[in-house]
Amino acid sequence: MSSVAPAMRHVRGFDVARPLSIGVLVFLMLPLVFLPLASIFIFGTSNGLDKFWAALTAPEAIFALKLSMATSFWATVFNVIFGLFAAYVLSRYNFWGRNALIVTISLPTAIPTAVAGFALLLLWGPYGTLGRLLTPHGFQIMFTAGAIILANIFVTFPLAFGVIKPVFDTMSHSLEEASATIGATRWQTFWHVTLPSLRGAIVSGALLTFARAVGEFGSTILVSGNLAGRTQTAPLYIFAKFNEGQIEAANAIAIVLALFSFLIFSVLFFARDWLDVD
């Protein structure tokens, strides 16, 4: 499944379809993916490496990157644990409303991220439906890092779940049943039998969620307050610098994010054999 299965040969001798197809594939990807990515790298270093380095080491830039990492991390932890739990419940139990729940879990990816941020503000903001009850007691999550984590949780909600549930669905019950017959408790079965089979799905779900959360913009810009050095994540920083006309600074951080995503997906790809467990 993960290695190349050689195509059946239609033609004896030289098959022109092969270089042609490969060429068309690369050619199509050039203007759509390769060149935009390359232009970030080329522009970022064209004004000299010293300016590039200065932009990277600006305290607000470093803060923005760290904030993105931290908020994405906690959103990922929550969504993976929740995804595991939800996949278990929705895969093992049948109940009225089960399908509606599965659809609802998948909804957040279809909603425009700006709408998601706006909805959170309407609910939890100082003048929001629930927020106005909490604010007098001193609890106000909007315009803090907590709001960014909340927005990330919403937007990346179905990602880990979507990777873990199919594994649950296709998992053979026989191992779990065997474990139960020799006297293991529900938790022991889960921890020693079920979880190891999910190892790959958990890791790839987590990395997917994390990568998506780091790049989140539309909801974050609404709920965070976008205060540089306080609640400004890396994508917000890039946008702010661009609007201020400081293109080099925006570019430097864009390169960091691009490299980071490249790293995540490279690791996912090269570790795919280890991640796939029968």
Partner 1 sequence: MRKTISRNLPFLGLTTLILALLGGSCLPKSPGERGDVTITLYGFSVMKESLEKAIFPNFAAKWKQQHGQVLSFQSSFAGSETVTNQILRGAPADIAILSIERDVQRLQKDGFVTADWHSLPAHGIVNKTPFVIIVRKGNPKGIKDFSDLARPGIRLIHPDPISSGGAQWSILAIYGSELKKSEKERGEADAGRALQTLRAIWRNVISTPGSAREARTTFELGNGDALITYELEGLLMKEANDPVEIVTPQATIFSEHPAVVIDRNVTSAERPVIDAFMQYLWSDEAQQAFVKFHFYSSTNDAFNQANTAFGHIELPFTIDYFHGWDKAYPEVIEKIFRDQVQRK
Interface ranges with partner 1 (CB under 8 A): 59-60, 62-63, 66-67, 69-71, 73-74, 121, 125-128, 131, 140, 142-143, 145, 203, 206-207, 210, 225-230, 242-245, 247, 263-264, 267, 270-274
Pick the closer one to partner 1 by CB: 56 or 228: 228
Cβ 247 to partner 1 shortest distance, Å = 8
Residue 251 CB, nearest approach to partner 1 (Å): 13
Provide the minimum distance between the beta carbon of 234 and partner 1 in the complex, in angstroms, as a whole number. 12
CB closer to partner 1, 191 vs 269 = 269
Closest CA to 75 of 201, 224, 209: 209
Rounded least distance, CB 131 to partner 1, Å = 8
Least gap, CB of 16 to partner 1 (angstroms): 37
In whole angstroms, the minimum distance from the beta carbon of 143 to partner 1 comes to: 6
Nearer to partner 1, 22 or 123 (CB): 123
d(Cα 174, Cα 152) in Å, to the nearest integer?
37
Dist CA 79 CA 145 (whole Å): 17
User: Computed from CA positions of residues 171, 174, 180, 183, in that sequence, does the dihedral angle turn out positive or negative?
Assistant: negative
Distance CA 227, CA 234 (A): 12
Measured CA to CA, the distance from residue 85 to residue 160 in angstroms comes to 11
Q: Which is nearer to partner 1, 186 or 272 (CB)?
A: 272
Q: For the chain, what is the total number of helices (H) and then of strands (E)?
A: 16, 0
Contact (CB, 8 A) for 179 and 193:
yes
- E strand or H helix that includes residue 42: helix 35-46
Q: What is the signed CA dihedral for 25, 28, 34, 40, rounded to 10 degrees?
A: -170
Which of 74, 88 has the CB closer to partner 1?
74
Closer residue to partner 1, CB minimum distance, 3 or 243? 243
Could you tell me the smallest distance in angstroms from the CB atom of residue 12 to partner 1? 38
Q: Which of 157, 170, 238 is nearest to 205 (CA)?
A: 157
For partner 1, the closer of residues 155 and 213 by Cβ is: 213
Alpha carbon distance 18, 65 (integer Å): 43
